[in-house]
Chains A and B, each alone.
Chain A
Amino acid sequence: MVDSSPEAVTPLTEESAIASLQQEDLSLRYYAAWWLGKFRIRTKAAVNALIVALADEDHRTELGDYPLRRNAARALGKLGDRSAIPSLIQSLECSDFYVREAAAQSLEMLGTTAAIPALKLLLKDGVEATKQVTGRPHAVEPCEAVIEALGSLGATETVPLIEPFLNQPIVKVQYAALRALYQLTQNDAYGQRLVNALNGNDVKLRRVALTDLGAIGYLPAAEAIAKCAVESSFKLIALKGLLAHLASEANLSESAIEIMSLMDSLL
């Protein structure tokens, strides 16, 4: 009997992982797709095999979900090969929520503005898309991932589309909207609201806000990040994000030194 947990599977190589994607054993295919992303196997053969897996019809759950497609979409974002872009854009139409979510995240990582029209379509019903689907643990659309992608991709024309998400009840989606709107407008008010979120009651949401501030490189947040009641690892990553947004490294600016002093104090 084959155990489907990754630990029980024999270690893969580049060749065996690609071969596994065509095997009959679905759990092996699922594992191989994850493995290729995890170990950043950037060869053409790996990318092509994963693109094929994005259209897989064999691996379906009773609910109609596509587990293999999810892992393939996640892996393709990590491999950084732009030939995956058209297939990932197509995956934004997949009936499986988690495939759409993974595709949005991977398209964000690939930094392709070609994805913007398809991403916008997922938000066409506005905040209705944040409603929970009956009997499922997720909303209608992966709004958090889509909004973050639109912000990172610089889709300035989507500001009016994203603004309403500030006023719907799902806090993580609010933060995603603040993050994207800051990136698209550079308006401090959005950054400040994320800074205020660092004082919230829920430690998980404080971690999300930290990640968002790091992602947008919001410099005025530096002190608040260092003081926030969250594990130091999260704070270091957020401050590293701030540092990453500063221009040149050869001549360190005063801001860069301030941020590094804060990072030193968190060790």
Chain B
Amino acid sequence: MVVLQLIQAVEQASEPAQLVAAVQALVAVKDKSAISTLIAVLGYNNPTAAIAAVAGLIELGTDSVQPLMEQLDEYNYGARAYSIRALAAIGDPHALELFLESAATDFAPSVRRSAAKGLGTLHWQQLDPEQVYPAWQKAMQTLLSISSDGDWSIRYAAIVGLQALANIPELAAQIKIHFDLQIQTESDREVRSRIIWAQQVLSQV
């Protein structure tokens, strides 16, 4: 079946299950021309279809990055969280500024969490050499500042982002010190558990 027909099948699906099947079929052909349609699916309020679409966008990789950023849905935070999740998994550092802003200022916790996690795992080597160090610093500073957020899930996501960033030797010492301090003031037992896990992993590096 040609891609165009598969796209039409997604656009015309009237039942939730039909939509999921159509998205899966479209994802399976791994064709760049499906990107725009897959992004639209993120806003259909069907979690199963959206997760399939995210997987498809991640698989298409770099080609998805620009459309995902351009078609970011300002009015639907559910769709926005899926877009950021896809961008985070692809790891293209062009998304850095978007992640910094989303992690710090988006009103939706789901969006902020995805951006915080994504800040830890961007593929920094794709940047021009002189951009790398400032980019690291921005990512770390944003994560450090949201690690005292009032919402436990944002603090949790910041820890996950920081743990990943600590794989960068130039940042490791400062992040480890931060974890040692945060654990003394962290009020939430489960968030403390996540810090302990991060500390254990980092001590083995």
Contacts and interface: CB of A to CB of B under 8 A. Distances in A.
What bracket does the count of chain B residues touching chain A fall in? 20 to 34
B190 A267 contact: no
Interface in A1-16: none
Contact of A252 (B113, B152, B193): B193
Contacts of A231: 47, 78, 110
A80 to B, nearest CB: 15
Interface stretch (A23-31, A67-75, A236-244): A236-244
For chain B, what secondary structure do more than half of its interface residues adopt (helix, strand, loop), or is it mixed?
A: helix
Given A231-B78, A263-B156, A249 B192 contact: yes
A255 to B, nearest CB: 11
Contact of B110 (A229, A233, A257, A264): A233
Given A231-B47, A231-B78, A233-B153, A260 B116 contact: no
What bracket does the count of chain A residues touching chain B fall in? 10 to 19
Interface in A226-267: 229-233, 236, 240, 243-244, 249-250, 252, 256-257, 260, 263-264, 267
B196 A249 contact: yes
A249 to B, nearest CB: 5
A232 B110 contact: yes
A244 B110 contact: no
For chain A, what secondary structure do more than half of its interface residues adopt (helix, strand, loop), or is it mixed?
A: helix
Nearest to A242: B190
Given A267-B113, A267-B114, A267-B117, A229 B47 contact: yes
Contacts of A250: 196
